[in-house]
Amino acid sequence: MDYFFTEEQEMIRDLCRQIAEERIKPVRAELDEKEQFPHEIIKALAQADLFQIIIPEEYGGLGGGCLENCIAVEELSKACCGVSTSYAASFLGAYPILLFGSEAQKEKYLPLIGSGEQLCAFALTESASGSDAGSIATEAKKDGDSYVLNGSKQWITNGGEAGVYTVIAITDRSKGARGATAFIVEAGDPGFSVGKKEIKLGIRASATAELIFKDCRIPADRVLGKQGLGFVVAMRTLDKSRPGVGAQAVGLAQGALDEAAAFARVRKQFGKPIITFQAVAHMLADMAIETEAARALVYATARYIDSGAKDFSKVSAIAKVFPTDMAMRTATNAVQVLGGHGYMRDYPVEKMMRDAKILQIYEGTNQIQRNVIGQELNKEYGRGK
């Protein structure tokens, strides 16, 4: 299928495809097994200028949008979602600066993130605050020209690997969601430390860690936007980033389909390749149908967002839900097509199945996405549409 990419978009796709083939596929099983962060691959992505994709040209970046990000993430995810999560999480962390940063903040941080010199991370989730993002407990108190942060964040992708963190904390508890503020925290800030590193079911090449703030003092000019805007910063960031999770799902599903179809052509039972049995061919056909439908959805949504659309919470949630539910089904069916082989670590599909699960959970569970879609429908139909 031709999705009418520009020359630059094709270049991004080809570059990511090459890195995926040459640098990621040969080591993905080992990174997964050892739960090892892919430092060398991150370096290769930085050298190929791939962290510049969404950074505006005035800060040294390529000035790409959601579509360019999705193209890159899809290609990397075909090979390994652990690697693509580490990559994409840097953009997740950078979006609050891109969307709400002051000129000085953008000048300071975007070149560092774009060059890949520093990874970025987004810190919202806490032990008692997941789907209910408005209930975070980490506090930030103004003290002269500083803010002092106390509390902890949980399950933060790139935790311990990032140099720049965008952190949501409460500055006025009495105001509920409107009492949250977004801050930039640097890895070396006093009172900031990295706690427990998680051991995970999938995406094991990515780092997931706890962040601890103990009287962490940061200059007052690290506020993103203004005090009280933190919840909106978080929501707008997630609206922008969720199609990227959809792109991860498309890449993962394509990778699983590639493995399953190749296997089904050579695996013989009852004297014939199993792809010639209708039961297997139909499973592969469904995998192909759903993957292509999800891809079209992700690209269309990304193009809509890049067109300058103002309100895209609903379509962004749709572009996360459908591909990620599909990727879970597709990866599970790939394991089924490979049968006993699929269940063993000799083939990559069991890893894909483990990796797929998180896509339905992170950046807002698929149940929360349906809430967002339902709320928007309620508003639309309330207006008489």
Count residues binding ligand COS (CB under 6 A). Answer: 21
Q: Please state the closest distance from residue 189 (CB atom) to ligand COS, in A.
A: 21
Which range touches ligand COS (CB under 6 A), out of 69-77, 127-135, 160-168, 250-258?
Answer: 127-135
Residue placing its CB nearer to ligand COS in the complex, 233 or 352: 233
Does 129 bind ligand COS (CB under 6 A)? Our answer is no
Query: Which lies closer to ligand COS via its Cβ, residue 18 or residue 378?
Result: 378
Residues in 50-109 that interact with ligand COS by CB under 6 A: none
Nearest distance, CB of residue 234 and ligand COS, angstroms: 7
Indicate which single residue of 209, 238, 283, 356 sits in contact with ligand COS (rule: CB under 6 A).
Answer: 238
Spatial distance between the Cα atoms of 180 and 225, rounded to a whole number of angstroms = 11
> Least distance (Å) from ligand COS to the CB of residue 172?
13
User: Shortest Cβ distance from residue 382 to ligand COS (Å)?
Assistant: 15
Among the listed residues 68, 259, 363, 380, the single catalytic one is 363
Contact between 313 and ligand COS per CB under 6 A = yes
Are 367 and 131 spatial neighbours (Cβ–Cβ below 8 Å)? yes
Cβ 232 to ligand COS shortest distance, Å = 4
Q: Distance between CA atoms of 384 and 203, rounded to whole angstroms?
A: 44
Structure tokens at 93: 């962390």
Residue 355 binds to ligand COS (criterion: CB under 6 A) = no
Please state the φ and ψ torsions of residue 101, each to the nearest 5 degrees. Answer: -70, 150
Alpha carbon distances (Å) from 316 to 33, 102, 180, 307, 334: 33, 26, 23, 14, 27
DSSP string, 145-163: TEEEEEEEEEEEETTTT-S
Could you say whether residue 232 binds ligand COS (CB under 6 A)? yes
The verdict on whether 30 is a catalytic residue reads no
Distance CA 332, CA 353 (A): 6
Under DSSP, is residue 167 helix (H, G, I), strand (E, B) or coil? strand
Read off the amino acid at residue 52.
Answer: Q
Helices (H), 274-365: 278-306, 313-343, 349-359
Does residue 235 touch ligand COS according to CB under 6 A? yes
Instruction: Give CA–CA dist 319/364, Å, rounded.
Output: 12
Contact residues toward ligand COS (CB under 6 A) are: 124-125, 131-134, 177-178, 231-232, 235-236, 238-239, 313, 362-364, 368, 371-372
